[in-house]
Structure formats: C-alpha cells, structure tokens
Amino acid sequence: MAKKTEDDGQASKRHFAEDVGLTFEAEGMPRMAGRILGWLLVSETPHVALQDVAEILHASKGSISTMSRLLMRMGLIERVSLPGERRDYIRLKPGSWSEWFATEAVKIGALRQLAEHGLELLESKSSVSRDRLVEMRDLFAFLEQEYPVLLERWKKKRR
C-alpha cells in the first residue's frame, strides 16, 4: 500500500498528460507544451519544479525550458520562485482559461479583417462572390462582438 500511495496514479496521470499533448498538437502547437500543461492539470501540488517535469515526462531540460516559456507567452502558466530556493517552479495561471478565450476573440477579429481586405479587391459589384465575403465578414464581426459578452456572462455566473 505504501508503494501505491507513492505512485499516486502516476501512470494514468502521465497518460493523461500525453493525451493533452496530442490534443495540443492537433491544434497546431508543440506536443511537449501540451504534455507540460497536462501534467500541471493533474499534479496535485500547488506548483512543480521544472526539473521534476523533465524527469516525469522523460524529456530533456532544454525542451521543458523552451516549452514552458512558450506556455508563459500564451498566458497559460506562470513562474513561481520561492525565497531561498534554487529551483524554479511553474504552475497553472489562475483564470488562464478566460484569458485563452479572450485571445480567441482576437483571432476572430483577424479573420474579419481578412474578409474586409478581400472585399476591397472585388471591383465588380456582382453579388456572387461579394455575398460570400460579406457573409464571412458579418459572421466574424458578430462573433468578435459577442465573445467578450459571453466571457463577461461567465465571469459573473462564476461568483
């Protein structure tokens, strides 16, 4: 039983981290970044040392260093340094998912702009192609406007 407690379901948790890695990769991000995120999600400590992450995921210190900095740029994790401690720690950033969602709105805005740019290139007023771009622009403009509203509603509901 002592062994069981020490293990603490590591195997399945590592598997979970791998799952998140694959999901991340499917979204066009580095798999290792997803693995780190996945591990942080199920590690039952307030924060984790970079080095431990490398060991647990069987990865090099280098990739952990690089990918954790990527996750920081994305606003999903943050660094924690403890006084009188040599090691660096990372943890999930509280409220990071809302922040992630906010960046989705930005992406949507970029697509709206793209459609607008396309519209400028159409010289004929013919409805065929113009309609398509207008539909695209309108949808993304709509979403761009509604995403923040949605986010606000969720934040309110959360309390």
Size of the site for its own copies (CB under 8 A): 53
Q: Copy the structure tokens of residue 121.
A: 């290139």
CA dihedral (63, 66, 72, 74) in degrees, to 10, reads: -90
For its own copies, the closer CB: 50 or 136: 136
Q: How far apart are CA 129 and CA 137, in angstroms?
A: 13
Least Å distance, CB 81 to its own copies, is: 19
Residue 148 contact, options DNA, its own copies, none, Cβ 5-8 Å cut-off depending on partner type: none
Rg (CA), the chain: 21
Q: How far apart are CA 125 and CA 100, in angstroms?
A: 39
Binding mask 116-135 for DNA (x = CB under 7 A): --------------------
Binding mask 75-104 for its own copies (x = CB under 8 A): -----------------x-xx-xx--x---
Judge residue 18's burial from the number of C-beta atoms within 10 Å of its C-beta, 0-12 exposed, 13-18 middle, 19 or more buried.
middle
| Cβ-contact 114, 72 below 8 angstroms | no
Residue 51 contact, options DNA, its own copies, none, Cβ 5-8 Å cut-off depending on partner type: DNA
- Does residue 77 bind DNA (CB under 7 A)? no
Q: For residues 78-97, which are near DNA according to CB under 7 A? A: 84, 86-88
- Site residues for DNA per CB under 7 A: 30-33, 49-51, 58-63, 65-69, 84, 86-88
